[in-house]
Structure 1
Amino acid sequence: MVAGQIIILNGAPRSGKSSIAAAIQEMFDDVWVNLGVDAYVRITPPRLRPGIGLRPGGERPDLEAFLPGFYAALYDSVAVHSRLGLNVVTDVGHHDAYSRPLDILRDCARRLAGLPVLFVGVRCPIEVILQRRAAISADGTYVTGSDEDPVPRPVRLWQEEVHKPGIYDMEVDTSLLSPTECADAIRQRLTAGPAPTAFPTLAQLRAG
Structure 2
Amino acid sequence: MNSGSAGQIVILNGPPRSGKSSIVKNIDGPWINLGVDVYVREMTPSRYQPGIGVRPGGERPDLEPLIPVCYAALYESIAAHSRLGPNVVVDVGHHNSYARPVNILVECARRLLGLPVLFVGVRCSIEVIMERRRQGQVGRENVYLTGSNQGPVPAPVLAWQQEVHVPGIYDLEIDTSSASPQDCAATILQRLENSHEQPTAFEKLAASAYSK
Identity of aligned residues (%): 63
Of 162, 179, 199, 1:196 maps to 199
Question: What does the per-residue CA deviation read over 1:84-136, in whole Å, with 9 as the maximum and x for residues that have no partner?
Answer: 00100000000000011211001100000010000000000011100000111
Q: Does 1:4 align with 2:7?
A: yes
Q: For residues 52-63 of structure 1, what are the structure 2 equivalents within 5 Å?
A: 52-63=52-63
3-state SS of the aligned residue for 1:90? strand
3-state SS of the aligned residue for 1:70? helix
Q: Is the 8 A contact 1:8 1:90 kept in 2?
A: yes
AA aligned opposite 1:137 = Q
Question: What does the per-residue CA deviation read over 1:139-196, in whole Å, with 9 as the maximum and x for residues that have no partner?
Answer: 2100112267421000000000000000100011001111110000001000014111
Structure 1 portions without partners, runs of 5+: none
- Root-mean-square deviation (Å): 1.4
Structure 2 portions without partners, runs of 5+: none
TM-score by length of structure 2 reads 0.93
Residues in 1 aligned to 2:150 and 2:172: alpha-carbon distance in whole angstroms: 37
3-state SS of the aligned residue for 2:193? helix
Residues in 2 aligned to 1:206 and 1:36: alpha-carbon distance in whole angstroms: 25
Offset, 1:48: 0.4
Q: Is the 8 A contact 2:120 2:171 kept in 1?
A: yes
Q: Is the 8 A contact 1:122 1:172 kept in 2?
A: yes
AA aligned opposite 1:142 = Y
Deviates most, 133-142 or 162-171: 133-142
AA aligned opposite 1:171 = E
Residues in 2 aligned to 1:90 and 1:206: alpha-carbon distance in whole angstroms: 23
Residues in 2 aligned to 1:107 and 1:176: alpha-carbon distance in whole angstroms: 32
Residues in 1 aligned to 2:91 and 2:189: alpha-carbon distance in whole angstroms: 16
Q: For residues 20-169 of structure 1, what are the structure 2 equivalents within 5 Å?
A: 20-24=23-27, 27-28=28-29, 31-42=30-41, 43-138=43-138, 139-146=141-148, 149-169=151-171
Residues in 2 aligned to 1:207 and 1:161: alpha-carbon distance in whole angstroms: 14
Residues in 1 aligned to 2:129 and 2:122: alpha-carbon distance in whole angstroms: 12
The structure with the largest helix share of the pair is 1
3-state SS of the aligned residue for 2:174? strand
3-state SS of the aligned residue for 1:172? strand
AA aligned opposite 2:183 = E
Could you say which residue in structure 2 is the equivalent of 1:185?
A: 187
Q: Is the 8 A contact 1:137 1:143 kept in 2?
A: no
